[in-house]
Each structure stands twice: as structure tokens, then as C-alpha cells.
Amino acid sequence: MTSLRIPGAVDPHVHLRDLEWSHKATVERETAAALAGGYWAVLDMPNTPPPATTRARLDERSAAFAARARCDFGLYLGADQGGNQGEYGAAAGAAVGLKMYCDETTGDLFIRESDERRAHVSAWKAASDKPIAVHAEGATLAAVLALAVELRSRVHFCHVSAADEVELLRQAKRDGAFISVAVTPHHLYLTQDDAARLGPYGRVKPLLKSSSDVAALWAGIADGTVDVIESDHAPHTRAEKESPAPPYGLPGLETTIPLMVLALREGRVSEERLVELLATNAQRLFRLQPPNGTYTLIDVDASYVITDDTLLTSPGWSPYSGMRVWGRVREVRIRGQLAFDGEDVLCSPGCGTDLAWS
Ligand code: NCD
Ligand code: ZN
């Protein structure tokens, strides 16, 4: 077997759900899926009710997750449209970063106005040098980028999906902005044609785009504009997806690494670059130090077809069902302990640590 070793793989954009959304997904199950997907750690988004917008909510979430998680995790604090900047000083130490939703999506966190965005970005900068992860598309992305440059703020652009966005971010990085860029596998592998084929199971924010957008994302990976691959694992039940107003979001924890190993096999990305995209860049951006004895081994010669019934994630469906990928996760070790052996998840709930406190 040709083995790829990833030192502490991190997925920096995951919705573990639980709390009031345990019908969508539970922390026990999603962190099992994370281990089977090859990850040491996942960074959890704050848009699950009650949204993680105060220090008290973060503490409540951290305690609940620490009891249930099988892999390590970090929590984002959410920027609240009601104005929670007064929490930032107290909450920054308990979070891996701030998440600011500047375009509408699942959940009700939404910072709509540019003066509100400015107030959040400057308050966070005063409180912490941790990144602000931003959901912003099109003209909103351009506005948030201008704000990041003006305020010299560390802004991490989530799930970038369009060719013109990649070009703007590329130029800004060349000009020395302190920004970083994330791309999801669904925006690399699926297009609007797939959205039509998949119906609600291809419904995601940002929407799936054209094949020229897809090509621009791959070019951004090749030239270093893109810093990280994130799954944006966003589980919703089949019943919700089949409803008249299906929610946005796709599961992806168990399919991200195999899809990126497929890219390796196809010569779209080098091994060295893959390790940066799946582990070391996110570690650097979010200041995460993998504990000793923490790594993933992947058999890059193993090929298989993704099927719904082999996935551990709560909703039990995947937009990639039926697709052939490469790369079997053979081993995940955390702190020297075997957490996944290629067949079974060996870490029980409570093994996982909140990285803010480790
Ligand atoms: C995410 C969700 O379901 O929480 N949905 C999505 O379409 N990506 C929210 C988000 O990241 O935008
Ligand atoms: Zn998301």
C-alpha cells in the first residue's frame, strides 16, 4: 500500500449540531464520522439553536461536547445581529475564532448591514487576534474584503465558490492582506447540473456553480490562493430535505479526504500541498497544535464507491453516492491512541478535548 501520512488533519468548518438540533445530528455520531473520515479535529459552527453567541453559551456547548465528542474539537463564537460585541473580551479565549454570516443561510445569524459588520470586525480585532471566518458571496465578499484590508483584520473566507471571488482574493493576498481562503469539495466536484440532478440533496449555500467556476477553484488550489479544504459538513435529515422548503447544507465529513485523494491520483494536487490543505494550514491559521502521536494514515491505492449505507453520519445520505473515489483511511491516532482502525471507531464519547483549553 502507498500510504499518505497526515499530521493532525483538521476540518475547520463543520456543523456538529446536537443541543436543540439533535434530530439532525448528534455530537457522538458526527465525531465518529469525523474519525472515520480521517480527522483529528473539527471546528464547529455556531448556527445551531441556541446559537453560540455568548460566553455562557460557549461554555454550555463546550461542556456538552466534551462529554460526547470522540475527536478533538474547537468552537466558533457567532456574531449576533442583536449586537454581542460586549461578549468578545470574555468569549474569545473559549473560541477558535468568530463566525460572521454576511449572507443568509441555515440558522438565524445574519449580519446584514455594512456598519454592523464594521462594528463586529473592529470589536473582534480589539478583543482577539484569532481569525474571523466569514460567509460572504459576490458583492458582499468584495465589501467584506475591503473592510478586512482597511481594518487590517484576519479574515478567513469560507466556502469560496465563484471564479470572480477567487480572483479578488488572489489579488488581495498578493497585495499583502491578512486573509485566508477555504474551498469545499462540493464546489470542486459538483456543478449546477448536479444541483438539477440531486434536487434538495444538492441544495447548499453557496449554491453549486458552473464548470468554469469549478476550474477557477482548482486553479486557486494550484497557485496557493486557496489555503484550506473544509467540508462545511451540514447534516439535515432526509425528511427535511424532502420537505417543501428543504434546508441548505450537505454532509461531507467522510467524503472530503477521499475526494481530495482522488484529486491527488488525477494529478490535480501534490502530496505536499494536500497535507497543507487538510492539516497544516488550518493548524497555523487557527493556532492548533496536534498532540504528540496524532496522525492519519491513508491508503492512496485503495479505490471504492461511496454508498449511503456505509456512512456513519446521522442523516445517512451523501450527494456523492455512487461515485468512485480513492483513499481509504486506515488509521487515525490521537495522543498515541488508535481512534479509528480502518473499520471501527475506537474512541468513546468523552475522548475528545476542546482545543481552546488544551
Ligand atoms: C449550513 C448549515 O446547514 O448550517 N448550510 C449550508 O448550506 N452550507 C450553513 C452554512 O454554512 O452556510
Ligand atoms: Zn457552514
The reply to whether omega before 50 is within 30° of 0 (cis) is yes
Mutate to test the pocket of ligand 1, among 17, 106, 156, 203 (most ligand atoms within 8 A of CB): 106
Grid cell locating 343 = 473499520
3-state secondary structure 44-80: ECCCCCCCCCCHHHHHHHHHHHHHHCCCEEEEEEECC
Please report where in the chains the cell 454581542 appears, as a residue: 84
Position 42 scores a pLDDT of: 98
At residue 11, the 3 state secondary structure works out as strand
pLDDT at 72: 98
Closest ligand to Cα 47? 1
Tell me the backbone φ, ψ of residue 335, rounded to 5 degrees: 50, 40
The residue contributing the CA closest to ligand 1 atom 11 is 232
Whole-number pLDDT of residue 203: 98
Give yes or no for residue 15 CB within 6 A of ligand 1.
yes
Determine the distance separating the centroid of ligand 2 and the alpha carbon of 203, expressed in angstroms: 13
* CB of 248 shorter than 6 A to ligand 1: yes
What pTM value is reported for the model? 0.98
- Residue 230: what are its φ and ψ, rounded to 5°? -125, 145
- The DSSP output letter for 247 is P
Tell me the CA end-to-end span of the chain in Å, nearest whole number: 34
Element at 333 (helix H, strand E): strand 324-334
CA–CA distance, 257 with 9 (Å, rounded to integer): 9
Q: Are 169 and 134 in contact (CB under 8 A)?
A: no
55 CB near ligand 1 (under 6 Å)? no
Q: Which atom of ligand 1 is nearest to the CA of 13?
A: 11
Provide the residue-wise pLDDT of the chain in tens; the chain has 358 residues.
689 999 999 999 999 999 999 999 999 999 999 999 999 999 999 999 999 999 999 999 999 999 999 999 999 999 999 999 999 999 999 999 999 999 989 988 999 999 999 999 999 999 999 999 999 999 999 999 999 999 999 999 999 999 999 999 999 999 999 999 999 999 999 999 999 999 999 999 999 999 999 999 999 999 999 999 999 999 999 999 999 999 999 999 999 999 999 999 999 999 999 999 999 999 999 999 999 999 999 999 999 999 999 999 999 999 999 999 999 999 999 999 999 999 999 999 999 999 998 7
Q: How far is CA 264 from CA 105, 165, 183, 327, in A?
A: 32, 24, 16, 10
User: What single-letter amino acid sits at 106?
Assistant: T
Position in ligand 1 atom list of the atom nearest CA 204:
7
Q: Please tell me whether residue 317 adopts helix, strand or coil conformation.
A: coil
